[in-house]
């Protein structure tokens, strides 16, 4: 299989796509009835569809497709560009740190997104920093909170993914233990993470609808957290 991108549902796909395009300064074009925001390494396709009201619960309670994380090789510069452009970040100019991932951790910020899915811009600290021209340089990972990390790793390994970095982090701010695995394969990285000591429910009819791949035949798979995998014959 080869990763194509993601499908996001919206009652107003033109407006929702335009908001993301404007927020991250990425190109947007129509594709039939859909609207496609292009990021290197990922086609973000917005399709008309009704979605449930946002589900409010503690982070890590709902599982399934959750956030789009874009890559930066110079996160302070990305933050500066965001703020100059008027792209609001959840913590202002403060940069958060996710320790241990890829050995040396990852810095990240979260652009505010009102459309039922999460946004992140992140910089891997194990890779060399480099100057950038835009806010991001493409897709870095897809964030999927999961019900059971081992079960999710096993399911994605059957699809050809490999666990590249597996860590257990304790977050002091809310005393959460988060077990995380970065799964690499098929042209995409999936950040699967389990909030431990917590009941989990899949998102119901949410906006972040599916991961899309080109493969041998048309099929739709449902992952262990309710995530939908659309495969289209290449
Ligand atoms: Fe993430």
Q: Taking residues 211-234, what's their average pLDDT?
A: 97
Tokens 């970040």 correspond to 89
Residue 76's domain is classified under what CATH number?
A: 3.10.180.10
Q: How many angstroms separate the alpha carbon of residue 68 from the centre of ligand 1? A: 7
Q: Taking residues 191-217, what's their average pLDDT?
A: 96
Domain count, the chain: 1
pTM of the model: 0.96
Phi, psi of 194 (to 5 degrees): -115, 125
What pLDDT sits at residue 174? 87
What pLDDT sits at residue 200? 95
What pLDDT sits at residue 112? 98
Pick the closest to residue 1 from 225, 227, 158, 149 (CA basis).
158
Pick the closest to residue 134 from 222, 34, 234, 40 (CA basis).
40
Q: Taking residues 147-176, what's their average pLDDT?
A: 95
Asked if residue 234 has pLDDT above 90, the reply is: no
What range does the domain containing 31 cover? Answer: 2-233
Asked if residue 56 has pLDDT above 90, the reply is: no
Q: How many angstroms separate the alpha carbon of residue 113 from the centre of ligand 1? A: 14
- Confidence band (pLDDT; 50, 70, 90) for 45? very high
Distance CA 115, CA 218 (A): 28
Q: How many angstroms separate the alpha carbon of residue 143 from the centre of ligand 1? A: 5
Q: Taking residues 158-163, what's their average pLDDT?
A: 96
Q: How many angstroms separate the alpha carbon of residue 32 from the centre of ligand 1? A: 30
How many angstroms separate the first and last alpha carbons of the chain? 9
Q: How many angstroms separate the alpha carbon of residue 66 from the centre of ligand 1? A: 9
């Amino acid at each position: 299989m080869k990763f194509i991108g993601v499908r996001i549902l919206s009652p107003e796909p033109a407006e929702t796509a335009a908001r993301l395009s404007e927020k991250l300064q990425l190109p947007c074009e129509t594709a039939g009835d859909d609207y496609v925001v292009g990021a290197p390494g990922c086609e973000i396709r917005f399709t008309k569809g009704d979605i449930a009201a946002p589900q409010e619960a503690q982070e890590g309670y709902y599982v399934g497709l959750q956030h789009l994380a874009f890559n930066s090789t110079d996160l302070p510069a990305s933050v500066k560009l965001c703020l100059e452009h008027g792209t609001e970040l959840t913590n202002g100019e403060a940069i958060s740190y996710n320790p241990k991932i890829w050995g040396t951790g990852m810095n990240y910020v979260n652009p505010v997104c009102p459309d039922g899915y999460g946004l992140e811009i992140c910089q891997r600290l194990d890779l060399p920093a480099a100057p950038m021209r835009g806010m991001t340089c493409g897709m870095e990972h897809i964030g999927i909170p999961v019900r059971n990390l081992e079960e999710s790793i096993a399911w994605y390994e059957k699809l050809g993914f490999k666990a590249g970095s597996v860590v257990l982090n304790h977050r002091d701010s809310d005393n959460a233990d988060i077990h995380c695995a970065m799964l690499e394969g098929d042209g995409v990285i999936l950040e699967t993470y389990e909030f431990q000591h917590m009941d989990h429910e899949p998102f119901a009819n949410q906006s972040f609808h599916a991961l899309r791949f080109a493969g041998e035949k048309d099929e739709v798979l449902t992952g262990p957290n309710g995530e939908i995998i659309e495969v289209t014959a290449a």
